[in-house]
Amino acid sequence: MKTLHLAVAHASPSPFLGAACQGAYTARVDFWFHRRACSSPSNGGFVAGNATTRFSNVSLLSVASVLPSRVTTSDDIEDRLSAALARLRLRPGLLRRVAGVNERRNWAEGESSDDATIAAGAKALADAGVAPGEVGLLINTSVTRKHLEPSVAVRLHHGLGLPTSAINFDIANACLGFVNGMSLAAGMIESGQIRYAIVVNGEDADEIQINTINRLVNSDADRDGFMSEFASLTLGSGSAAAVLGRADEHPEGHRLLGGVTRAATQFHELCVGSVDGMFTDAKALLKGGLNLVVSAWKEAAPEWKWSGMDRYITHQVSSVHTTAIVRAAKLDPERVPVTYDRYGNVGPASIPITLAEQQSSLKRGDRVLLMGVGSGLNTAMMELAW
């Protein structure tokens, strides 16, 4: 094991930086790099392994969520798909049976993901006891957005009343974005560049679901074509926010200890989405994602002892995905809470929404592991000392 100290005087923020690039903002953060053999078609089968990052003075001060008021059941969606289901001879109850999703939330009239994200951010700041004027960084991690420019972050920065000195930008990394955002923000706090950061996410699944349903009803797609768009039907809407700060200034906070990241980008074409639709090779994605998570888990073992965590907050995709992760990593299912059955897959917001629900049952000293995975494929795991 080799420790590499990075000393960087300054770097301009970029909305395209993920967890692996957080060193560009870090003056004195130690990265442990482990070289391992892993499959990659681009270089004969050997690439560098995952990176382990540790933080010594960063705490999660609060996490909050705001959910839409409109409930859309899986029966509601299947009723709208009845003609396509009948034509393909698919039995009713498909979404519950295959994904374990009973319902999801969608924004009602007068609600929006941006407004809800601002509300979640304001609640998180209030819970943390941090004034908007003290925030030095806002990172938005939303996948869905109404336009390409400007960033979603600028509207949220304005809505939260943050100071002109607060850096703000978007990070886009599929469903892994929120964990990436926390890692990047933690690096900037650790280095002394900022005192407080807020990481936010807001998702609106309406447009992609409406477009998907209309296409499936009005097309002659076969079963394979239908199932390639099945994941779009499991999506949900919601917003979340988390505030991070210095541990030495907030002994009441929940320490961010660090974690691991790993990539398997040879699978970048397995799930491709836009507002028009999301097309997924579900079986290959599950297999590739599971192998990636297990590889990262095993390589983390020399530095981290994660087999006995008090709570595992995983990305919420489906019952199949969660069961596979639990079995592969030999986790206690009682310590793996699920929200996909009620909210569906809310993208990057899934982890903070689930953590926000669980926080009232966590006690001081509990060990919590955030386990994220995103299309592409990328995974990241981050340990918290509650």
HEC-encoded secondary structure of 184-206: HHHHHHHCCCCCEEEEEEEECCH
- Determine, yes or no, domain membership for 89: yes
CA–CA gap between residue 286 and residue 175 (Å, rounded): 14
CA–CA gap between residue 287 and residue 10 (Å, rounded): 40
- Determine, yes or no, domain membership for 43: no
Alpha helix stretches (DSSP H) within the chain: 74-80, 82-87, 94, 113-128, 152-159, 177-190, 206-217, 223-228, 282-300, 319-329, 340-343, 350-358
Known catalytic residue: 149? Answer: yes
pLDDT at 251: 96
pLDDT at 19: 34
Smallest Cα–Cα separation from 307: which of 297, 320, 317? 297
- Determine, yes or no, domain membership for 232: yes
Number of domains in the chain: 1
- Determine, yes or no, domain membership for 242: yes
- Determine, yes or no, domain membership for 188: yes
pLDDT at 280: 85
CA–CA gap between residue 325 and residue 327 (Å, rounded): 5
pLDDT at 13: 36
Instruction: Tell me which residue range forms the domain holding 210.
Output: 56-385
- Determine, yes or no, domain membership for 176: yes
Per-residue pLDDT of the chain (386 residues; tens, 9 = 90+): 333 333 333 333 333 333 333 333 333 333 333 333 344 434 333 334 447 899 999 999 999 999 999 999 999 999 999 999 999 999 999 999 999 999 999 999 999 999 999 999 999 999 999 999 999 999 999 999 999 999 999 999 999 999 999 999 999 999 999 999 999 999 999 999 999 999 999 999 999 999 999 999 998 889 999 999 999 999 999 999 999 999 999 999 999 999 999 988 898 988 888 888 888 888 888 888 888 888 889 888 888 999 999 999 999 999 999 999 999 899 999 999 999 999 999 999 999 999 999 999 999 999 999 998 888 899 999 999 99
CA terminus-to-terminus distance, the chain: 28
Known catalytic residue: 383? Answer: no
pLDDT at 263: 87
pLDDT at 278: 85
- Determine, yes or no, domain membership for 14: no
Q: Is 174 helix (H, G, I), strand (E, B) or coil?
A: coil
pLDDT at 283: 85
Write the DSSP string, 334-377: GGS---HHHH-B-GGGHHHHHHHHHGGG--TT-EEEEEEEETTT
Which of 175, 190, 203, 383 is catalytic? The answer is 175
- Determine, yes or no, domain membership for 24: no
pTM over 0.75: yes
Domain harbouring 175, CATH code: 3.40.47.10
